Amino acid sequence: MSRTEYVEIEGVPLLATLVPGDGVGLLALHGSNEGGTAELAALVARRCGATSLVFTQPGARRPVHIPSPRMVAARSSLLREFLDGVRLTVSLHGHMRPHAWDTLFLGGGNREAATVLAEELLALAPRFQAVTDLAEIPPALRGLHPRNPVNLARLGGVQVELPLPARTTGGADVPPRPVVDALAAGVARLAQPPATSTQERC
């Protein structure tokens, strides 16, 4: 059962929508700014039975981009609940780097989880390049700030920066199927207990 909460951060009204699930969490902090990220979080979470939390700015003509480290849990009870309830976060963002129109940057503090997602992207969405080497990720997209929500779950998480073609289709906020499939497969692997040798796909 989804729950919603209206919050105000730095004078910006936001709607948070939480759908509880298992211990991996899909997070979209900028659902109105970065087209397709809210939809991608919801699709992957629903496919895998994962938890999702999406922030949007309903009705805003020009949504305000609040940097992730300033989307603090103290201002949103649903964000606190999300971070308390998941053990690992996959935080979805959009980038507009013209030189990297086919590149996903996988930052965040959990580098092992970033590698898992990259493997599934290579297998199921080979059109896109998945970069995990932090030295090759633009500093602003690395997601390493200690107050960034992606790093506040028990096992930290992965900040996935997606170019426009990896999160929209035909000008609409409809994520392409191969990216949905790849992220769902990666989340399914991350959700498996460490002792489980057989990895199931969503």
Q: What is the pLDDT of residues 107-158, one digit of tens each?
A: 999 999 999 999 999 999 999 999 999 999 999 999 999 999 999 999 999 9
Taking phi first (over 0 means left), then psi (-120 to 50 degrees means alpha), and beta for anything else, what does residue 75 get?
alpha
The number of distinct structural domains making up the chain is 1
Tell me what pLDDT residue 197 has.
Answer: 41
Output the six-digit token pair for 48: 């895998």
Within a domain: 86? yes
Output the six-digit token pair for 88: 């690992």
Within a domain: 171? yes
Within a domain: 200? no
Within a domain: 202? no
Which CATH number goes with the domain that contains 67? 3.40.630.100
Q: Name the residue range of residue 79's domain.
A: 3-191
Q: How many CB atoms lie within 10 A of CB 43?
A: 21
Q: What is the pLDDT of residues 157-179, one digit of tens each?
A: 999 999 999 999 999 999 999 99
Q: At CA 113, angle to CA 112 and CA 115, rounded to 5?
A: 65
Within a domain: 59? yes
3-state class (DSSP) for residue 188: helix
Query: Please, which residues have CB within 8 angstroms of residue 170's CB and are 6 or more apart in sequence?
Result: none
